[in-house]
Chain A
């Protein structure tokens, strides 16, 4: 029998980025005994890399901004596939959550009047992103981290959750291991909040860190929850393309929000050639109008460089395919000829630093080379809009691991606000659910825990076997090549076949060394989440036979009105993944009017 330690909580939060921290704060404030499981050290989660800002209709720069406009922009950006109720709650509550961060000590940049400054971003009608230069995520995670450690929240750093535990239909805890010692740990919990982030590590070119292996998506699926919209993976249009070692690293949309423009190898601002019908009336027709917009939003329309990310990523891809790209297979992002050097260093300090240190490019003098990079999954666990509850009693999901809020494409800045708004709601709802269980808490089946432990240790027992890093690399290649920016059924079926082979290889992985901080072992275990998520993404992408938002298919190049009415849902029945189309919630008339304005 494998040994493990045991902990008891009312609410167990898995993941300690912005969403997990905000959920833990809310749960603790509601009086729940709260545990927080964090795959890395506290404060290192992916939120730390967020750059441009947090979207909230504070109206500090444009008083005409309000939640209704934010709601409209979010729905249009998501190609109307969003859960309207989530988008509504998000737009209504984001300002309060930002002001709360300020009250907790976050040092946002200021307007001349001393209020929180807001910057322009793609798809947002007004300057809406509260920010701290181009390192807003760091400010957010640190502020939330300080708030968390001041509360009675027990933090488990460098601890990975492997599986959720259930008692009948209900969640009863989670099972995982300490990275530092390799020892197993069992959490008995009345409710569990998943805040595990995304899945970027199924791709070769990604802005995501090693943590983004889809653990939460895979755990939820295995626990019986529905996953929706998994075909929608956002390619951020501007990742670094050179040198190879930093390929995919994020270049903030703030560069374009502050005046940077995209050019092809001939120096042309090609985005003017890629304005879709839906956004034509909002977009400038000439460079002169676009340039005037930065200082006068009222009398000019926005530059096409600030279209939503899916549009910009597709345009860049098209320019490169037609031979008008930059030397290393991207396009040019030019801020040097647009803003004085001092302003660039002030507004975009970490971009300046990143290019100087890693690419030897001075962005105040030369253009950057950029191209699309896998950045964010819109899809995730299907949740109730008001409480973030999944379809499994006691299981909640928030942030990137949850689906619905962002529809077919997320607007920049809407993730940091999503984390705060629904993090708080999930923490409160999970605490309330736990309190409501009273004398009927769910039980943990220790046999299940022991079975997970035996399974996790199998790679140590194999003398010879596959190298876990090689299996992972091959998966990333297969997904990058076959389920990338432009998809078709033949390629995706090829990917499914490769995933099957890789699953067999993953079952033959061998690990050397001890259980103490052994990254080979960690990778061997992560493979199972990665492969599961890759399969779900591919199945969902095949099912959606149209191009919409982040999904572009060359075998179905246009949108199909029938697919505008459905989410693709994937769930596990027995051992089989089942893919279904289910109707999206229908928007009430008053909200529909807002969207059509």
Chain B
């Protein structure tokens, strides 16, 4: 197995001859190298079950979880090359600095739920929650970020491009049946949704088979277009969110809320601006 060894200042591939046993995955072999030949070989891993998304690397050039890449998928004796994810700065060997993703996550406006039903419960239909659950499957392996050419080939974009992982985070919040926050214009204007030209590389490498492009990015782009270029929709949406927000904060008594909602709806029909009640 050829493993990239080195740090931020540079490095090269090192060849290790090592046996693989039945049923093993690439991470098993890396562990054997580490235990027997190179104690200081840096690998990031946790669950070894495809659930935590720590052991991402590039195996024969393909972004993979090393714990889910079986040795039996290679020919006996075939050279196997393992190098760190290329998009992120190297810490050491196969470990990269993925802090970028956590910084971008901090910038996501929080989930802000509607109020509960009068009996203290939320009622949601399974089919509505399933749309959100698809995105919640994300294990934050950051392989989609690694493969995305917007940052892989143009590191300068990283300042204003959140990347596919964060786009599904925005999508899951926007599509959550209880959420009242609006993030769609932020995604377009500050998070670089427009840079994505739908090559679907992210979808292809996702170990959780999340349809990142079709189910998250494209619907988000459509929302943005609707919001940005249709003034009536934009206004109505703003008012809806504002109303839900006030309701969530318990700021409006039920009757005022209804009256105000009706007044706003009338204004929208007239095509005028209310001047109040929107933000």
A interface residues with partner B (beta carbon < 8 Å): 40-46, 48-49, 99, 102-105, 107-110, 113-115, 117, 132-133, 135, 138-139, 142, 146, 149-150, 157, 180, 209-211, 242-246, 249-250, 350, 353-354, 357-359, 467-470, 473, 511-514, 516-521, 523
A433 → chain B, closest Cβ, in Å?
29
| Additional 15 contacts, C-beta under 8 A, given A103-B116, A114-B125, A249-B48 | A44-B46, A44-B54, A44-B140, A45-B46, A99-B120, A105-B111, A107-B136, A110-B129, A149-B102, A149-B105, A149-B106, A245-B28, A353-B50, A514-B40, A517-B91
1/0 per position for B106-133, CB-CB distance to A under 8 A? 1010110100100011111110010011
In the complex, are the beta carbons of B54 and A41 less than 8 A apart?
yes
Nearest A residue to B108 via CB reads: A146
Least CB distance, A279 to chain B, in whole angstroms: 31
B34 within 8 Å of A by Cβ?
Answer: yes
Is A469 touching B35 in the complex (CB atoms < 8 A)? yes
Chain B residues whose CB sits within 8 angstroms of the CB of A245 once the complex forms: 21, 23-25, 28
Tell me how far the C-beta of B83 lies from the nearest C-beta in chain A, rounded to whole angstroms: 16
| Interface residue ranges of B43-87 to A (CB < 8 Å) | 43-54, 68, 70
How many residues does chain B have at the interface if contact means C-beta atoms less than 8 Å apart?
61
User: Which single residue of chain B is at the shortest CB-CB distance from A523?
Assistant: B39
- Please indicate the chain A residues that have their CB under 8 angstroms from the CB of B91 in the complex: 180, 516-517
Supposing A114-B123, A513-B40 touch, asked if A243 and B98 sit within 8 A by C-beta, the answer is no
Q: Mark out the residues of chain B between 122 and 173 whose CB falls within 8 Å of any chain A CB in the assembled complex.
A: 122-126, 129, 132-133, 136-140, 173
Alpha-carbon separation in the docked complex, A40 to B43 (Å): 12
B42 within 8 A of A: yes
Residues of the B chain whose Cβ atoms lie less than 8 Å from the Cβ of A354: 49-50
Q: Contact: A249 with B49, CB < 8 Å?
A: yes
Query: B95 an interface residue at 8 Å Cβ cutoff?
Result: yes
Q: Are B53 and A44 in contact (CB under 8 A)?
A: yes
Contact of B270 with A by CB under 8 A: no
Cβ contacts under 8 Å, B28 to chain A: 245
Complex CA distance for A497 and B60, rounded to whole angstroms: 46
Task: Report B170 CB to chain A, min CB distance, Å.
Answer: 12
Q: How many residue pairs bridge A and B at CB < 8 Å? A: 167
Instruction: Report yes or no: A244 in contact with B70, Cβ–Cβ below 8 A.
Output: no
Residue in B93, B139, B179 whose CB lies within 8 Å of A105: B179
Contact between chains at A48 and B50 (CB < 8 Å): no
- Tell me the B residues contacting A by CB distance below 8 Å: 7, 21-25, 28, 34-36, 39-54, 68, 70, 91-93, 95, 97-98, 102, 105-106, 108, 110-111, 113, 116, 120-126, 129, 132-133, 136-140, 173, 176, 178-179
Q: How far is the CB of A466 from chain B (nearest CB, A)?
A: 11
Task: For residue B180, give the distance in angstroms from its CB to the closest CB of chain A.
Answer: 12
Q: A41-B98, A43-B140, A44-B52 are in contact. Are A107 and B133 (CB under 8 A)?
A: yes
Q: How far is the CB of A146 from chain B (nearest CB, A)?
A: 7
7 residue pairs, one from A and one from B, having the closest CB atoms: A243-B23, A520-B39, A513-B40, A114-B123, A469-B35, A105-B111, A517-B42
Given A104-B111, A516-B92, is A48 in contact with B40 using a C-beta cutoff of 8 Å? no
Which A residues are CB-close (under 8 A) to B111?
104-105, 146
- Docked Cα-Cα span, A350 to B52, in Å, equals 12
Residue in chain A with minimal CB distance to B140: A43
A residues in contact with B133, CB < 8 Å = 107, 132-133
Complex CA gap A444/B105 in Å reads: 35
List 26 contacting pairs A-B, 8 Å CB cutoff, sorted by A: A44-B46, A44-B53, A48-B47, A48-B51, A48-B139, A49-B52, A107-B129, A110-B129, A113-B123, A114-B125, A138-B51, A210-B46, A244-B22, A250-B49, A353-B50, A354-B50, A357-B70, A358-B49, A358-B68, A359-B23, A467-B35, A512-B40, A516-B92, A517-B92, A519-B40, A520-B34
Q: In the complex, what distance in Å separates the CA atom of A470 from the CA atom of B34?
A: 11
Task: Across the interface, name the chain B residue whose C-beta is closest to A158.
Answer: B44
Q: Which of A49, A114, A242, A516 contacts B23 (CB 8 A)?
A: A242
Q: B110 to chain A: which residues have CB within 8 Å?
A: 146, 150
Kindly list chain A residues whose C-beta atoms are within 8 Å of the C-beta of B138: 142
Residue on B with the closest CB to A39? B46
Q: How far is the CB of A511 from chain B (nearest CB, A)?
A: 7
B106–A115 CB distance below 8 A: no
Cβ 8 A contact of B34, one of A109, A117, A209, A469? A469
